[in-house]
Amino acid sequence: MSTNVLPTYDDVVSRYEPVIGLETHVELGTVTKMFCGCPTDFGAEPNTQVCPVCLGLPGSLPVANRAAIEATIRIGLALNCSIATWCRFARKNYFYPDMPKNYQISQYDEPLCVDGYLDVEVDGELVRIGIERVHLEEDTGKTLHVGGATGRIHGATESLVDYNRAGIPLVEIVTKPVPGLGARAPEIAKAYVAELRDVIRTLGVSDVRMEQGSMRCDVNTSLNLPGAEWGTRTETKNVNSLRSVERSVRTEMLRQAMVLDGGGTITQETRHFHEDTGDTTSGRSKETATDYRYFPEPDLVPLAPEPVWVEQLKAALPELPRQHRARLKTEWNLSDLDMQSILNAGAVELIERTVAAGASPEAARKWWLGELSRRANADGVELEAVGATPEQVAKLQVLVASGKLTDKLARQVLEGVLAGEGDPEQIMAARGLEVVSDTGALTAAIDEAIAANPEVAEKIRGGNQAAAGVLIGAVMKTTKGQADAKTVRELVLARLAS
- Residues lying near other proteins in the complex (CB under 8 A): 52, 55-64, 91, 93, 95, 97, 100-103, 153-154, 156-157, 159, 161, 291-295, 298-301
Applying CB under 5 A, the span of 46-54, 192-200, 227-235, 351-359 interacting with Zn ion comes to 46-54
Quote the least distance from Cβ 10 to other proteins, whole Å. Answer: 42
32 binds Zn ion (CB under 5 A): no
With contacts defined by CB under 5 A, how many residues of the chain interact with Zn ion? 5
Note whether 167 and 150 are within 8 A (CB): no
Applying CB under 5 A, the span of 32-40, 234-242, 331-339, 477-485 interacting with Zn ion comes to 32-40
**Nearest-angstrom CA–CA distance, 21 and 7:** 23
Partner touching 309 among other proteins, Zn ion, none, CB below 5 to 8 Å by kind: none
Nearer to Zn ion by Cβ, of 51 and 266: the residue is 51
Applying CB under 5 A, the span of 1-9, 37-45, 188-196, 263-271 interacting with Zn ion comes to 37-45
Instruction: Give the closest residue to 62 by CA, choosing from 54, 50, 70.
Output: 54
54 binds Zn ion (CB under 5 A): yes
Quote the least distance from Cβ 153 to Zn ion, whole Å. Answer: 25
CA separation, residue 251 to residues 13, 182, 260, 386 (Å): 13, 14, 14, 28
Applying CB under 5 A, the span of 51-59, 75-83, 99-107, 254-262 interacting with Zn ion comes to 51-59
Note whether 328 and 348 are within 8 A (CB): yes
Partner touching 202 among other proteins, Zn ion, none, CB below 5 to 8 Å by kind: none
Nearer to other proteins by Cβ, of 268 and 453: the residue is 268
Note whether 191 and 121 are within 8 A (CB): yes
Nearer to Zn ion by Cβ, of 54 and 483: the residue is 54
Quote the least distance from Cβ 176 to other proteins, whole Å. Answer: 23
205 binds Zn ion (CB under 5 A): no
Note whether 397 and 359 are within 8 A (CB): yes
* Count helices and strands in the chain by DSSP H and E runs: 17, 14
344's enclosing H/E stretch is: helix 336-344
Q: For strands 82-83 and 113-122, give the pairing.
A: antiparallel
Q: Hey, which residues between 60 and 79 contact Zn ion (CB under 5 A)?
A: none
38 binds Zn ion (CB under 5 A): yes
Partner touching 131 among Zn ion, other proteins, none, CB below 5 to 8 Å by kind: none
51 binds Zn ion (CB under 5 A): yes
Quote the least distance from Cβ 302 to other proteins, whole Å. Answer: 10
Nearer to other proteins by Cβ, of 86 and 95: the residue is 95
Residues in the chain: 498
Instruction: Estimate the crossing angle of helix 390-401 against helix 407-418, to 10 degrees.
Output: 160
34 binds Zn ion (CB under 5 A): no
Quote the least distance from Cβ 175 to other proteins, whole Å. Answer: 24
36 binds Zn ion (CB under 5 A): yes
Quote the least distance from Cβ 30 to Zn ion, whole Å. Answer: 13
**Nearest-angstrom CA–CA distance, 372 and 388:** 8
Quote the least distance from Cβ 205 to other proteins, whole Å. Answer: 23
Q: C-alpha 183: how far from its chain's center? A: 23
Applying CB under 5 A, the span of 48-56, 214-222, 379-387, 482-490 interacting with Zn ion comes to 48-56
166 binds Zn ion (CB under 5 A): no
Nearer to other proteins by Cβ, of 93 and 360: the residue is 93
Nearer to other proteins by Cβ, of 141 and 186: the residue is 141
**Nearest-angstrom CA–CA distance, 238 and 217:** 5
Nearer to Zn ion by Cβ, of 34 and 350: the residue is 34
Partner touching 38 among other proteins, Zn ion, none, CB below 5 to 8 Å by kind: Zn ion
Partner touching 54 among other proteins, Zn ion, none, CB below 5 to 8 Å by kind: Zn ion
Q: For strands 125-138 and 169-175, give the pairing.
A: antiparallel
Partner touching 63 among other proteins, Zn ion, none, CB below 5 to 8 Å by kind: other proteins
**Nearest-angstrom CA–CA distance, 173 and 23:** 6
Quote the least distance from Cβ 93 to other proteins, whole Å. Answer: 5
The contacts of residue 188 (CB under 8 Å, 6+ apart) are 20, 120, 122, 127, 129, 178, 181
Residue/partner pairs of 400-407 with CB below 8 Å, 24 or more apart: 400/363, 401/360, 401/363, 403/435, 403/437, 403/484, 404/428, 404/434, 404/435, 404/437, 405/433, 405/434, 405/435, 406/435, 406/484, 406/485
**Nearest-angstrom CA–CA distance, 218 and 206:** 18
Interior/surface letters 193-230, b for 16+ CB within 10 angstroms, e for the rest = bbbbbbbbbbbebbebebeeebbbbbbbbbbbeeeeee
> Hey, what amino acid is at 486?
K
Q: How much of the chain is in helix, strand and coil states, percent to nearest 5?
A: 40, 20, 40
Partner touching 7 among Zn ion, other proteins, none, CB below 5 to 8 Å by kind: none
Positions in the binding site for Zn ion (CB under 5 A)? 36, 38, 51, 53-54
